[in-house]
Homo-oligomer: A and B are copies of this chain.
Amino acid sequence: MRRDELFGPLNDKSAKIMLLGSGELGKEIIIEAMRLGIETIAVDRYENAPGQQVAHRAYTGNMKDPLFLKGIVEKEKPDAIIPEIEAINLDVLFELEKCGFNVIPNAAATHAAMQRERIRELISKKAGVPTSKYLYADTLDELKDACEKLGYPCWVKAIMSSSGQGSMFVESEADIKKAFDNSRARARGSGERMIVEEHIPFDIEVTELAVRHYDGNGHIVTSFPKPVGHYQIDGDYHSSWQCAEVSESVEREIYRTAEKITSALGGVGLFGCELFVKDGKVYGNECSPRPHDTGMVTLATHQATLSECGLHVRAVCGLPVPSVKQSGFNVILPVKNGASHVILSPCEGSHPVMRNLWQALGNDVSFFAFGKPDAHFGRRMGLVVALDDDVGKAKVKAERAAHMIEMRTSQQGWAGQHDRKFHLL
């Protein structure tokens, strides 16, 4: 609902949001809510998750457990329930929504987005957006069949997994068994099924951070930050930049495509629509009904308080989302172009330490250390964003800073981090 009044936090009329999952994105959502005087509750499966450290109140528990989830919602009675992760009891979300709780963007979208089969069907059938060809497989034989039909190379992905885990690029029949085992091993929950996707050798992969929000008349409209380009390593986001290098006509097609997908999902909030661009044509891939990893570049490219996380809070709370009109679209302009680069843990253990900060941060980069209490190999522990009118220069600057940082834990030392692989230098 359009909201024209805000009570301060910590009284019985405060606007109150509850984050289900409180990682690095949840932390920034909470920071932006705090800056608006909105009361914040952070829930995660482990103590001292990034968002829990900044929120007014925190709860730790298993969000798959109906008693735990219902208990905290009924105790706190939040104005908005914001799922940040996928390991949430969906039946409870639907039930809470039926009882009048405001699930962001809604329980059905959360349900659709947590599983590759459902979101693919929604993008392709309900939204009518072109996708790469795809087939499903439940057994090794079905998988072989599907790969043969779609041709090599192709992608094999667990239908339920997050952040690229359980995804594999299959170059020939020889890779199928490994892809099958990997998908089974990394799948989350009961989703044993896998999806096989045709490989489109795309020109660029973009995320469109479309925001569905109220306008001055109380109608839901869509506004569009400039497309974010990104690349992945091992199926997980490694660097992203804004603005993506696309032509004006492709940009408009990206907005049109994102509008179709997000309308099919419904509700209000910011969505991360993952799209491919090939020969001027835009394909739908996935869509998260919440701020997106690759969108963290907007923490520095967008105006303060209006990053993807800030925009999400504005939309969720019914506050205005400012934009300018460009070719008939509501476009949210960055203040300056820039690039983000992840800082991944090269080690395992507790009490992670980062070093080499002077080499890394000597340039004017924005540096975020998420403050996670434990490191795992490949876990995202921090982020660097560099700004530059020339996006190519920003990419190099961000990569240089991020790759300079070394990490150790109480269990594992600094060894073996001197041979830094740079992708752009």
Contacts and interface: CB of A to CB of B under 8 A. Distances in A.
A10 B356 contact: no
A278 to B, nearest CB: 33
30 contacts: A3-B357, A4-B356, A4-B358, A5-B353, A6-B369, A8-B372, A9-B53, A11-B373, A27-B34, A31-B54, A34-B53, A34-B54, A36-B367, A37-B369, A37-B371, A37-B382, A216-B358, A299-B304, A300-B305, A304-B366, A304-B385, A306-B366, A319-B357, A319-B358, A320-B358, A322-B361, A322-B362, A322-B365, A323-B364, A335-B387
A370 B335 CA distance: 24
Interface in A83-128: none
Contacts of A371: 8-10, 34, 37
B13 A363 contact: no
Interface string A1-24: 011111111110100000000000
Contacts of A367: 35-36, 305
A270 to B, nearest CB: 16
A246 interface: no
Contact of A305 (B7, B54, B366): B366
A352 B52 CA distance: 26
A320 B405 CA distance: 14
A351 interface: yes
A30 to B, nearest CB: 8
A11 B387 CA distance: 33
A294 to B, nearest CB: 16
Given A6-B355, A34-B53, A323-B364, 7 more contacts: A8-B371, A31-B54, A35-B368, A36-B367, A36-B368, A54-B54, A319-B358
A336 interface: yes
A48 interface: yes
A81 B314 CA distance: 35
A172 interface: no
A260 interface: no
Contacts of A352: 7-8
Interface range, A side: 35 or more
Contacts of A364: 303, 306, 322-323
Given A31-B54, A34-B371, A305-B367, A5 B362 contact: no
A322 B363 contact: yes
Contacts of A2: 358
A355 B5 contact: yes
A10 B369 contact: no
Nearest to A307: B304
A36 B369 contact: yes
Nearest to A301: B304
A348 to B, nearest CB: 15
Contact of A10 (B4, B48, B307): B48
Contact of A336 (B305, B336, B385): B336
Nearest to A6: B354
Contacts of A379: none
A250 B307 CA distance: 35
Contacts of A9: 48, 53, 371
Interface in A247-272: none
B369 A35 contact: yes
A357 B34 contact: no
